């Protein structure tokens, strides 16, 4: 595994951003970045991309070229939107978007058929696309501390779910007793309350 950090990344940019199929891990976290170049899409062998703790408002459209990506950690930025091309990341296993300013998710998220972990807590989401529940391999789902007023009925289709975090006021939308075993309801004050089991 070849890992780049900000130094190697900047050297690559200075050298003309030629396509590279050797680097598999890119760590650009906590660097104060406000944007990423479209050329990041030339790093087609990337398996892990860490861009958390920056000031990013949106990933570039070319992020959809990183089709070998397994891990994308973009928490604690200022993301207000995601490109539709994120749906091209069909090998993705974990997507962490905690602590951003997202108001919606692209419908293309349904294409992430290998996704096992989705963290979208502490955003500004007012709804979730019905298609999100077609992610049949999903095991971890954190959606607390958004602006949600309901959950899609198809939440019950998540057959492999093992961990769910959701705001307490949405508890009435979790009607499947089997799923309740895996749910932690989060109180408004920020602590957690285990789901009552029947």
Count of structural domains within the chain: 1
pLDDT above 70 covers a percentage of the chain that reads 94
CA dist 68 and 79 (Å) reads 23
Render pLDDT for 156-191 as a digit per residue (tens, 0 to 9).
778 888 999 999 999 888 887 877 888 889 986 444
Lookup result for tokens 């944007």: 35
Identify any residues that bridge with 119 across adjacent strands, giving them in sequence order. Answer: 96, 142
Full-prediction pTM beyond 0.85? yes
Task: State the residue range of the domain holding 135.
Answer: 2-194
132: domain CATH number is 3.80.10.10
């Amino acid at each position: 595994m070849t890992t780049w950090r900000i130094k190697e990344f900047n050297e690559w940019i200075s050298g003309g951003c030629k396509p590279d199929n050797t680097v598999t891990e890119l760590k650009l976290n906590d660097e104060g970045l406000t944007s990423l170049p479209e050329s990041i899409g030339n790093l087609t062998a990337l398996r892990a991309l860490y861009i958390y703790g920056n000031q990013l408002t949106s990933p570039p459209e070319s992020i959809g070229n990183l089709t070998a990506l397994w891990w994308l950690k973009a928490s604690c930025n200022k993301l207000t939107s995601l490109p539709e091309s994120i749906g091209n990341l069909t090998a993705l296993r974990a997507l962490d978007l905690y602590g951003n300013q997202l108001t919606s998710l692209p419908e293309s998220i349904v294409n992430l058929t290998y996704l096992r972990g989705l963290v979208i807590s502490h955003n500004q989401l007012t709804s979730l696309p019905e298609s999100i529940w077609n992610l049949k391999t999903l095991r971890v789902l954190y959606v607390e501390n958004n602006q949600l007023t309901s959950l899609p009925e198809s939440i019950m289709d998540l057959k492999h779910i093992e961990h769910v975090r959701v705001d307490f006021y949405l508890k009435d939308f979790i009607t499947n007793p089997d799923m309740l075993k895996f749910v932690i309801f989060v109180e408004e004050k920020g602590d957690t309350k285990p789901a009552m089991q029947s």
